[in-house]
Structure 1
Amino acid sequence: MAISLQKGQKVDLTKTNPGLKNVVVGLGWDTNKYDGGNDFDLDSSIFLLADTGKVADQNDFIFYNNTTGGNGSVVHSGDNLTGVGDGDDEVVKVSLAEVPAHIQRLAFTVTIHDADTRNQNFGMVSNAYIRIVNEATNEELIRYDLGEDFSIETAIVVGELYRHNGEWKFNAIGAGYQGGLAALCSDYGLAVN
């Protein structure tokens, strides 16, 4: 039975699931019907953060053009251009024991591609969620449904996997940003051209 989280809640992952080695992080969403004439393309990205709260180098930013990071411990499934259909829209596999020691947090984010030019924001998105599944058993361990709290934001930090006293925990963040991916990159220490 999965633990369902509310915004701001933190939960132990490895302590309550001894022997957990590999997880699948699924992110999903639906787009509301609107007459803007443009398709929606939501993208998940993962920032592998050192204890400074910043990425150590550009290879610690995982997205559809850089699908593997953390010495192969974090693997992104690639870009889903439409988000159509049920279930996870994008998937990230994480080998918890293989995440390099300098990486303290994995921040999972979702942004809207070309949001400004397409005049789109997360107020037009519904049923967004993140879930963590035990890869070995396919059992859903944690689920966080974001709700409909966003209106003008074009990027969301959905949640974080983080180390605490040798164990992995999950934090349901649900924080919205204006400025899309560029704003997130800047906050996490990446230069944006």
Structure 2
Amino acid sequence: MIRGANVALTREIPDLRGVVVGIDWDAGTEVVLQDNLVLAALLCGPDSRVLSHEHVVFFNQLASPEESVAVRDAALHDDQEQIEVDLRDVPPEVARIVLVTYINEGTAQRRTLGQLKRVAVVVREAGSLRELVRSEDFAPVLQSETALVLAEVYRHGGDWKFKVVGEGYRNGIAGVAADYGVPL
């Protein structure tokens, strides 16, 4: 799927109970970059602002308060990191789950997402891990960005949809935090 494209997950698969959203990247020989890439989920209200600091799921906060969104212990298939979403248990005040990747500590060592050879977001069916959707490779358009909004899983009417975003930030997680109201 290309940037801006979306798909109606639960309309296409009515019995879909959950998804696993993963990031598939290739950092080549850039070990510092490989070791410092982070996948995070921001649980946002209808205003696209994170509900609270407890609604940011990443390596330092492994699950949302009600545990409907959680970091998977070990990523499977070709994904380097994965976040699992139990669509049935996501609280009604959560309108969208924004998936972000960023460089945690590599910016001090002059690393950018433009050094990636490949980066894509993948949606799999929870349980079977059957691939449902894969984004385009964002790597060719990345340059000096240190954070990237990959995609959104969001409510639309009574259904859940998935949208490829692909918006880069040169000011890293601080830029994402400012746009989505994440307290740092």
Match of 2:172 among 180, 183, 186: 180
Match of 1:50 among 22, 45, 51: 45
Within 2, Cα distance between the matches of 1:77 and 1:137?
A: 14
Within 2, Cα distance between the matches of 1:157 and 1:78?
A: 22
Q: Which residue matches 1:25?
A: 21
The list of structure 1 runs, each at least 4 consecutive aligned residues, that deviate by more than 2 angstroms after superposition, is: 37-40, 77-80
* Structure 1: tracts of 5 or more residues without a match: none
Within 2, Cα distance between the matches of 1:105 and 1:39?
A: 28
Letter in 2 for 1:50: G
Q: CA deviation at 1:78?
A: 5.3
Letter in 2 for 1:58: H
Q: CA deviation at 1:114?
A: 1.7
Match of 1:149 among 135, 138, 141: 141
Q: Is the 8 A contact 2:56 2:64 kept in 1?
A: yes
Q: CA deviation at 1:133?
A: 1.0
- Structure with the higher fraction of residues in helix conformation: 2
Letter in 1 for 2:42: F
* Identity percentage of aligned residues: 28
Aligned length: 182
Within 2, Cα distance between the matches of 1:16 and 1:70?
A: 29
When normalised by structure 1's length, the TM-score is: 0.88
Within 1, Cα distance between the matches of 2:93 and 2:120?
A: 28
When normalised by structure 2's length, the TM-score is: 0.92
The residue matched to 1:26 in structure 2 has which SS? Answer: strand
Letter in 1 for 2:69: V
- RMSD, aligned α-carbons: 2.0
Question: Is residue 116 from structure 1 mapped to residue 111 from structure 2 by the alignment?
Answer: no
Distance 1:93 1:72, change over 3 A: same
Within 1, Cα distance between the matches of 2:33 and 2:49?
A: 32
Q: CA deviation at 1:127?
A: 1.6
Letter in 2 for 1:18: P
